[in-house]
Chain A
C-alpha cells in the first residue's frame, strides 16, 4: 500500500508533520496517487456520485433540522414554514427530498454494476458486504426521513412498516411497541425517528470510510475483471479519475436540478400534503419508489407455508431478498468476474434487471389480478437467480477467453 505514494515531504514543516500525523501522506496515497485501472467505464463513477449524494443529504439535512419541529402538532406546519418563510427554504427542502430519490438511483446503478462485473468476488467480499450494509442503512434512513413531514403517507407508511415487526412470533407485539414507543405511531415515534434519521447518515459515512478502505486493499475491479498486473494497467486516481468523476457528478446534477426546480413534488405523493390523520387511511398506500421492489416481495407472499403464516412469510421473503445480496459472493463461484466474458450469464443478468424493474412497477399497483400473480413470478425469479442460476452457471458455463491483462484488452479495443 504505502509504496503507491511517491510522497516526499517538501520542507521541514511537512517533514515534522509527516513524522507525527501523516495526513498529507495519507491523502496523497488514497486520494491522489492511488493506482486505478485505466479502463474503468462510466458505471464506475457512481461511487463518487454516491459520496456526493451523501454529502448533499447531510448538509441540507442539518439545515432543515435548524427549522424543523419534531412534534405531531407542529411537524407538518414546520415543513411548510421551511418551504414558505425560510430564505431559500423551498429549494433546500426540495433538494433534500429529491436528493433521497437521486441517492437511490445512484445506489441501485452502483449495485447493479457490481453484480454485472462480479465486483463481489474474492478478494472483495468484505467490500461488497459493507456495500450491502450501506444500502440497508440508507434504506432505513430514507424510510425514517419520510415520516418526518408528518403527512398521510408518512403516518400510514410508518404504520404499515412497523406492523412488520408484529409478524415475529411471540415477541413481535412487544418489539413493535418498543420501536414505536407506544401502541401506535405517535409523537414518541416521530421524535425517535427524527433523532435516528439525524444519527444514521454519520454511521453511513463511517461505513463508507470502511468501504473505501476495503476497496483500497485489493484495488478497483474493472470492466474486464482481470486483476492489475503492473503499472501500465493503471493511472493515478488524481487527476484522471477525479476529473472523470467530477464530470459525471455534474452530469448527474442535471436531472437532479430538473426535479428540484421544475418538478419537486413529482417523485412524492399528493397525499403527503395532507396532515397525518389516524382516522382516515389514504385510498392507496404506496411506499417511496425506491422501496417498491422489496415491498412487492413482502406482499407477494399472500399464502401460508406450513406453520408460517403469510404475514411472517412475507417478512421472511423480504429479509431473504436482502440476505441473498449478502451471500452472493459464495453463490456465484465462477472464476470469471466480468459478465462481458460470460455468454450465458449475460442473458440471465439482463432478465434479472428487467425483473427488478418489474418488481418496482408491481409494488405501485393495487393488490389485484394480474398483478398479484406477476408479483409471485417476479419474486420467484429474484430468488431463483441468486440461489439456482448463479451456482449452476458457475459450473456449466464456458466463458470466453480472457485478455491476459488490462493493457492488452485496451489495445485490442483500440485496434479493432
Chain B
C-alpha cells in the first residue's frame, strides 16, 4: 500500500493515461455537440427559410403582407408617383441615408419588399399613411416614406429589406 501514492504520481504522465484522457475528451465533445445542435432550427423550419412568391396578382398601388421566417413582409407595387417622390428626396434629409435605388432591385423599381416591423420597437406600421406618403407606425409615431425610409419619429433606421431576388419577372424568392 505504501507504493500506491508513488504509482499514481509516476504513472500520471504516462502515455497511456494521456491517450485515454484525450480520447475521452474527444468522445465527450462528440456527445455534447448534438445535444446543443438540436436547439438549432429543425428541417421543417429551415424548409420555410426561403420562400417563392408570385407578385403578378398585385395591382399597381396595392400591397400584400406575406409571412417569411415568422415575420410579416410588405410587398408593395408602387405607383410611378411614389417612385419619383422617393427618388427626389436628397440624402441629406434622411436620418438613415440610403438611396431608393439601393432598396429595390434594378429593373424592378415598382416592387418594394420590406420586413414589416418598425425598427423602433417592432410594431407593424400602417400603410399609405403618415406625413411622407409611406408608412406610419401608430405605436410611437414613426413616419416612413414611400421607400420605407425613416423620416420622423423615434425609429432609428429604415424598414429592413430582406435578402431577395427575382427568379423571373414575376416570381420573387425571399431568403
Contacts and interface: CB of A to CB of B under 8 A. Distances in A.
Contact of B38 (A86, A231, A235): A86
Interface in B1-47: 1, 4, 8, 34-35, 37-40, 42-45
Interface residues of A, number: 17
Contacts, number: 36
Contacts of A395: none
A287 interface: no
Contacts of B40: 87
B34 A91 contact: yes
B34 A85 contact: no
Interface residues of B, number: 13
B37 A88 contact: yes
B38 A63 contact: yes
Contacts of A87: 34, 37-38, 40, 42-43
A35 B60 CA distance: 84
Contacts of B45: 85
Given A59-B35, A231-B1, A89 B8 contact: no
A232 interface: yes
A88 B44 contact: no
A318 to B, nearest CB: 37
Nearest to A253: B27
Given A81-B42, A85-B44, 13 more contacts: A59-B35, A63-B35, A67-B38, A86-B38, A86-B43, A87-B38, A87-B40, A87-B42, A88-B37, A89-B38, A91-B34, A92-B35, A235-B4
A232 B4 CA distance: 12
B35 to A, nearest CB: 6
Contacts of A67: 38, 42
Contacts of A89: 38, 42
Main secondary structure of the interface of A (DSSP, over half): helix
B42 A86 contact: yes
Interface string B40-81: 101111000000000000000000000000000000000000
Nearest to A247: B20
A50 to B, nearest CB: 19
B42 A239 contact: no
A92 B34 contact: yes
Contacts of B1: 231-232
Contacts of A231: 1
Contacts of B34: 87-88, 91-92
B38 A88 contact: yes
B8 A239 contact: yes
A85 B44 CA distance: 6
B123 to A, nearest CB: 30
Interface string A84-119: 111111011000000000000000000000000000
A67 B44 CA distance: 12
| Most A C-beta atoms less than 10 A away, residue of B37, B42, B45 | B42
A84 B44 CA distance: 9
B35 A84 contact: no
A65 to B, nearest CB: 12
Contacts of A63: 35, 38
Contacts of B42: 67, 81, 85-87, 89
A326 B34 CA distance: 41
A239 B1 CA distance: 14
A94 B8 CA distance: 39
A67 B39 CA distance: 9
A85 B37 CA distance: 12
Interface string A215-239: 0000000000000000110010001
Interface in B114-156: none
Given A81-B44, A231-B1, A232-B1, A92 B38 contact: yes
A59 B8 CA distance: 33
A61 to B, nearest CB: 12
A84 B43 contact: yes
Contacts of A91: 34
